[in-house]
Structures are given as structure tokens and as C-alpha cells.
Structure 1
Amino acid sequence: MEGSELTREWIRQRKRDPYYRKAKAEGYRSRATYKLKQIDSRVRLLKKGGRVLDLGASPGGWSQYAAERVGPGGLVVAVDLIPMDRIEGVTFIQGDISEKDTRERVKEISKEFDLIISDISPSLSGNRTLDRGRSLALAWEVMSFSGEVLRKGGNVVVKMFQGNEVDELKEGFASGFRRVDNIKPKSSLKRSIEMYLVFRGFEPSTEG
């Protein structure tokens, strides 16, 4: 199947997707909104007045839902290399989360967050081993930055691709949290290898 035909088929499948239609009907930017909504329904992460950092946020489906949940008394900061249209109640920073300058810009807005969320995904190559490795590298950056700005007792939701890399990320960071859950939301496509790690109850290191 040629590229243009693949694109048309993807569009046809997307339009048949109930979560795509639901997002359009309810005014959300992305079907991905329902992934965070279902995770939040299960583990109750978002609270009124909360401070949320969304890494890899564009087009903004997760930020949009987070802003609804924390309300006008809360804070949502969204970061992405890709531009994002304005969302009421969301402060957007265009930048690379692996770069010091971007991290400093986040800290200028808030030095601490209650929750860090990330639906960030690498550009897919079709090679699952390569894609899992890239996903791990991105998730590692998310967790690394989380250690700088997450308040004690705070939580992180980060996307991963299923494989040994999930255990590698857990081994790298689980000791800094009270518990870690693996969640695959109902709205994730059945054929997708994506899942989410929810790190809960951050305990900052007292070393050094």
C-alpha cells in the first residue's frame, strides 16, 4: 500500500474510532484526553488547586483535561518542541525538556509540582526494538526532570512501550517512590504497545 493510500486508510480508521468522535463532540483536542481521564479515574491524581507539569504536551489533550480538573486556582504548565495553540488556564513553553534552558524556564514559573504527566512519544520507525529504546530515552528524561521539580509525595504518569525497557525504567526510579503501577487505559488502541507507568508518593533523596 502506497503512502497516500496508507494516510487515507489511517484517516478512515480514525473517523470510525469512538474516542476520536467523542473527543470531537466534547471539544477535546485529542482522543488521548481519555487516556489521562481513565488513569485519573482509577488512581485519582488530579485535584482542585493542583500544580501540574505536562511534558510533551502538544496538541494539548492532556493539558486541557488537567486544566479542567485543577480549576482556576491551580496551575498547568505544558512543554513541547512542537507549537501548541492556547488553552485557557495553561501556560505553554516551547522547548526541549532535555535542555537546561527549558528546565529553567519551567522553574521560573514554579519550583515544585504536585503531578507530572507525559504522553510523549518518539517518531516511530516501525522497528519495535528501536522504538522501545527511543521511548525509554524520552521517559528517562521525564523522570530525570521530575526529580528536580516534583514535590515530596508527588506523582508522575509517563508513557512507555511494552518490553524489557519498562523494567529498566522502574529499576532506575522506583526506589524514589512509594509505589509504581502499570496501566493500559481502555482508550489505548488494542494493537498499540503503549502503556503508562504511574509513580506515586515521591520521596526525595536525602543523599548529598
Structure 2
Amino acid sequence: MARKKKSGGDSGSMASSRELKQRVKTARGRKNSSTLWLQRQLNDPYVAAARRDGFRSRATYKLIEIDDKYHLLKPGYRVLDLGAAPGGWTQIAVKRTGAANGRGGEVVGIDLLPIEPIAGSTLLEMDFMADEAPDELKRQMGGPADVVLSDMAASATGHKPTDHLRIMSLCELALDFAMEVLKPGGSFLAKVLQGGAERDLMKTLKTNFKVVRHVKPKASRSDSAEMYVLATGFRGTAAAKDADNA
């Protein structure tokens, strides 16, 4: 919703502010919006840091910041990453759960787009909304999840109300699945957009989790409506409890 250079840890330090900003000349045939996007990418310190640190996307730093503060990912945890491409969140999950070095963690990712392999993870090129996806994810996980991550986002239409409803729908689907597979005490982190139509989602979250909060990491652009909902302390369902005892 999966690419590399020299590994430099996951501290997320930004490039020096003294670096010269790059400008992109408007090329013939290129839309002005495309030129502005490209210029923003070239001047984005998180994009530069991702290249330097060997991460596949700037979004990696969003998860790093959230996990540093709320400690979602722990050694031995089983993690499901929805909308995993290009793999930045999966890179952090396998490292912090120990899955990357065989210390008991397990990470399963899924996306419509292909994802280059990441050691310590199982990556599925599959539509999360396909009928067969839930059973395949459960099979690959092999047991209840400790954490469900969702950075899924529908392609933007440019119409803000429509985009909001589409991403909220994805978040609701991710939550429904999370409540099927999370073990009691588990956590759910998902991308949303600021705006209305959240009442039912928040009601469901507050009913099923002990603590629910909105978070906007520094790596989320300040001019973006993007933010994340974080729910911790899953209260558990009969299905989750049965799976945990299986």
C-alpha cells in the first residue's frame, strides 16, 4: 500500500538542514502537480534518510516513532502487516520481533503489489479483500497475532470526502479481521484520515480495546490529513481466546 542501500540502524536521524534543496524544472508534458510531488520527494529528509538507512520507504519512520513511544513490537511477537508494500514496516517488524534472526518472532505481510523478499517474513501478493485472503493469512500466521498493522490506502481520487470514506472502509475491514486473529492483550495500528464518519469505528475500538488513541508521527507530512489510530489491550473475543488455547 517492497527496495535498499547501506543499513544504518533505525534511529531515524534526519539529514543536515544545511543540505541544499533540490529544484525540479517543469518538463514538457509533465503535469505541474507531478513536478511539485517530485520536488517534495527530492527535498524530503525522510526520503533521504530511508535511502541512507537502507529502508524501503519514508513510512518506515512513522512506525519507528510510534513503536519507540508505545512499544508495540516485542521479541517473539507474531505480527500481521496489511498493505505491506514496499516493505518498510515489515523491515522494522522483523527486526524488533526477532524474526530476522530466528529468535521466535513471526511476520506476515500482504499487498496487491509485489514485495521483494525480506528475511524473517512471509509476504503474500494478494488482495486483502479477496475471499481467500483471510484463510490464507491465518494459515501463514499459524496462530493468533500479537499485533495487526495496517498502512493500507486506496488510490486517491482527489475528492477528499470520497478518499476519506474509502480509507475508512479499509480501516474497518482491517479492524474486523484484527478482531478475528488478535490474541487478548494484542494491538491494532491503522492509517485513517482526519474527518468525519469515524463514530462507528471509534465505538467498535473502544468496546474491544482498553486504550484507543489517535497518533500523528512527525514523518506524516504536516499538510496531510493522514494520521493513525492505535488501539491496545485487546479485550478478546471467544474466537481469539479459542485460537490462543489451540
What TM-score does the superposition give when structure 1 sets the normalisation length? Answer: 0.94
Structure 1 or 2: more helix by fraction: 1
The answer to whether the Cα contact below 8 Å between 2:205 and 2:212 also exists between their aligned partners in 1 is no
- Name structure 2 gaps, 5 residues minimum: 1-25, 240-246
What is the CA distance between 1:47 and its match in structure 2? 0.3
Give the Cα–Cα distance (whole angstroms) in 2 for the partners of residues 118 and 191 of structure 1: 21
Q: Which secondary structure does the structure 1 equivalent of 2:132 belong to?
A: helix
Residues 1:152 and 2:177 are matched in the alignment: no
Evaluate the alpha carbon distance shift between residue 206 and residue 77 of structure 1 in structure 2; reply closer, same or farther with a 3 A threshold: closer
Give the Cα–Cα distance (whole angstroms) in 2 for the partners of residues 127 and 168 of structure 1: 22
> For 2:143, which of 111, 117, 126 is the aligned residue?
111
Residues 10-159 of structure 1: pairs in structure 2 closer than 5 A: 10-71=37-98, 72=102, 73-109=104-140, 110-159=142-191
Answer with 1 or 2: which has the greater Rg. 2
Residues 1:194 and 2:226 are matched in the alignment: yes
Evaluate the alpha carbon distance shift between residue 196 and residue 126 of structure 1 in structure 2; reply closer, same or farther with a 3 A threshold: same
- Say how many residue pairs are matched: 207
Root-mean-square deviation (CA), in Å? 1.6
What is the CA distance between 1:190 and its match in structure 2? 0.5
The answer to whether the Cα contact below 8 Å between 1:77 and 1:90 also exists between their aligned partners in 2 is yes
Give the Cα–Cα distance (whole angstroms) in 2 for the partners of residues 157 and 22 of structure 1: 23
Identical-pair percentage: 37
Task: Report the residue type matching 1:123 in the other structure.
Answer: S
Q: Which secondary structure does the structure 2 equivalent of 1:191 belong to?
A: coil
What TM-score does the superposition give when structure 2 sets the normalisation length? Answer: 0.80
The answer to whether the Cα contact below 8 Å between 1:54 and 1:63 also exists between their aligned partners in 2 is yes
Q: Which secondary structure does the structure 2 equivalent of 1:35 belong to?
A: helix
What is the CA distance between 1:38 and its match in structure 2? 0.6
Residues 1:168 and 2:200 are matched in the alignment: yes
Task: Report the residue type matching 2:120 in the other structure.
Answer: G
Please give the per-residue CA displacement for 1:113-169, whole angstroms capped at 9, x wherever unaligned.
Answer: 100001111111111100110011100110011011111110000000001233331
Give the Cα–Cα distance (whole angstroms) in 2 for the partners of residues 192 and 184 of structure 1: 10
